[in-house]
Amino acid sequence: KKTILTGIKPTGQIHLGNYIGAIKPALQLAKQKEFSPAYFVADYHGLTKFHQADEFRHLSYGIAATWLALGLVPEETIFYRQSDVPEVFELNWILACFASKGLMNRAHAYKAMVDNNEKMERNADFGVNMGIYTYPILMAADILMLKTEVVPVGKDQIQHVEIARDIAESFNHVYGDAFVLPEYLVQEEVAVLPGLDGRKMSKSYNNTIPLFEEPKKLQKLINKIQTDSLPPEAPKDPESSIIFTLYQQFASTVEVEQMRAQYLSGISWGEAKKELFIVMNRFLEEPRENYKELIASPERLNEILLEGAQKARTISAPFLKEIKEKIGFSV
Ligand code: TYM
């Protein structure tokens, strides 16, 4: 079976970009028999950007509850918290010794952070710490530790998966085929889901639509999505509209075709938004209720995550031993 793995940072509420870019494809793949899924809360990655302890704990459970609310089956998944699998950090160091500094300098996420910092002279929120700089190495450790073949992610993470591959190749070049080379899997139609303001939907831009927002607020947020100023009766291009893109994610094939025809013959943005809300809310109603129940019992979530970490360690502990032997450590 092919291992598929993906992680989410607990640095904010899960939004539609996370759902459509990573969770939805990951859950679809998990249903296929040829895959063995591993999904985790990337709390150590989150620490690079978030330093409020109580909120952090709550957000970590929030990510776990989101996956479960949307149908993740813990018995059929390796579902864990990154910080509960210590082998990942040992591997992180080993991999750091195979990652060139130049490779890290080229990482987009780090470069964007530096640019931002320079623009604002001093980052109001957060400076560039070493965690941000070495972020791709830890991500490589996540991926390589569980012998991952496929990584479902949004477009912003493609480079990180490529870096993981590069690091694995550098290691394999010296010691033979130790690591499986991972591939990313990106949903082309929604590689980057735009947010309310048209920029990439992101916790950092404050332009998100949280997945489990209450219906009234959800409707308000949908109404805030920026649109062009075409008159109501003018034909609209469905392919270039985020409202249509979102509609496609939540509606049936028949509904999508009917909506496409309405766009082409002219629908007002107000009407298009109303229709979007209806299909979104129809889908989200049940998971939203599940989520509320789950998040109310953190002890239960903790148990599930700890059991998942045990499963991950049945792979990571012996594999790390093999790696240590290869590099000449006595184990
Ligand atoms: P994070 O928490 O920033 O994002 C989680 C996932 O959501 C996707 N995503 C989007 N997809 C489409 N459109 C958007 N607007 C959008 N915003 C976010 C991200 O691409 C991502 O897939 N580095 C990872 C966490 C991580 C990880 C890993 C992922 C740590 N180790 C190993 C895969 C494998 C991250 O920043 O996630």
| Average pLDDT value for residue range 160-165 | 98
Cα-to-centroid distance, 23 and ligand 1 (Å):
9
What residue has token string 């938004």? 273
Judge if the beta carbon of residue 201 lies within 6 A of ligand 1.
yes
Cα-to-centroid distance, 329 and ligand 1 (Å):
34
Where helices occur in the chain by DSSP H, the ranges are 16-18, 24-30, 43-46, 53-69, 87-96, 101-105, 108-119, 130-133, 135-145, 158-175, 215-224, 242-250, 253-265, 269-295, 298-326
Class of domain 212-292 (CATH, top level): mainly alpha
In angstroms, the CA 278 to CA 108 distance is 37
Judge if the beta carbon of residue 142 lies within 6 A of ligand 1.
yes
> Coil, helix or strand for 100?
coil
8 Å CB contact between 147 and 323: no
Testing ligand 1's pocket by substitution, the residue of 3, 59, 153 carrying the most ligand atoms inside 8 A of its CB is 153
Nearest to 27 by CA among 80, 73, 78: 73
Q: Whose CA is nearest to atom 17 of ligand 1?
A: 17
Judge if the beta carbon of residue 139 lies within 6 A of ligand 1.
yes
Question: 3.30.1370.100, 3.40.50.620, 3.40.50.360, 3.40.50.2000: which CATH number matches 2-192+298-326?
Answer: 3.40.50.620
| Average pLDDT value for residue range 39-43 | 98
8 Å CB contact between 182 and 168: yes
Judge if the beta carbon of residue 149 lies within 6 A of ligand 1.
no
Nearest to 320 by CA among 87, 38, 84, 81: 87
8 Å CB contact between 96 and 167: no
> Coil, helix or strand for 183?
strand
Judge if the beta carbon of residue 43 lies within 6 A of ligand 1.
no
Nearest to 309 by CA among 318, 321, 319, 317: 317
Count of all residues that appear for the chain in the document: 331
C-alpha distances (whole Å) from 12 to each of 54, 58, 77, 303 are: 13, 10, 24, 22
- Give the pLDDT confidence of 86-144 residue by residue, as tens digits: 999 999 999 999 999 999 999 888 888 888 777 665 545 677 899 999 999 999 999 99
> Coil, helix or strand for 8?
strand
Annotated binding-site residue? 316: no
Indicate whether 269 pLDDT > 80. yes
Testing ligand 1's pocket by substitution, the residue of 147, 157, 184 carrying the most ligand atoms inside 8 A of its CB is 157
| Average pLDDT value for residue range 235-252 | 95
Atom of ligand 1 nearest to the CA of 200: 15
Cα-to-centroid distance, 76 and ligand 1 (Å):
22
Task: Grade residue 204 by pLDDT with cuts at 50, 70 and 90.
Answer: confident
**Residues spanned by CATH 3.40.50.620 within the chain?**
2-192+298-326
Nearest to 323 by CA among 144, 131, 190: 144
Q: Whose CA is nearest to atom 27 of ligand 1?
A: 7
> Coil, helix or strand for 184?
strand
Annotated binding-site residue? 220: no
In angstroms, the CA 197 to CA 273 distance is 15
Burial of 171 (0-12, 13-18, 19+ CB in 10 A): buried
Cα-to-centroid distance, 313 and ligand 1 (Å):
23
> Coil, helix or strand for 229?
coil
ipTM: 0.99
What residue has token string 């092919």? 2
In angstroms, the CA 137 to CA 27 distance is 26
Annotated binding-site residue? 203: yes
323: which residues sit within 8 A by CB, 6+ positions away?
91, 94, 178
Annotated binding-site residue? 18: yes
Cα-to-centroid distance, 42 and ligand 1 (Å):
10
Indicate whether 190 pLDDT > 90. no
Atom of ligand 1 nearest to the CA of 195: 15
Identify the bridge partners of residue 79 per DSSP, sorted by sequence position.
39
What is the predicted pLDDT for the residue at 128? Answer: 86
Pick 188 or 118 by higher pLDDT: 188
Identify the bridge partners of residue 80 per DSSP, sorted by sequence position.
40
Return the minimum-mean-pLDDT range out of 99-113, 219-233, 245-259.
Answer: 99-113
In angstroms, the CA 5 to CA 86 distance is 17
**Residues spanned by CATH 1.10.240.10 within the chain?**
212-292
Atom of ligand 1 nearest to the CA of 45: 30
Annotated binding-site residue? 292: no
Judge if the beta carbon of residue 154 lies within 6 A of ligand 1.
yes
Please provide the DSSP assignment of 230-269 as one string.
--TTS---GGG-HHHHHHHHHS-HHHHHHHHHHHHH---H
Judge if the beta carbon of residue 305 lies within 6 A of ligand 1.
no
Annotated binding-site residue? 154: yes
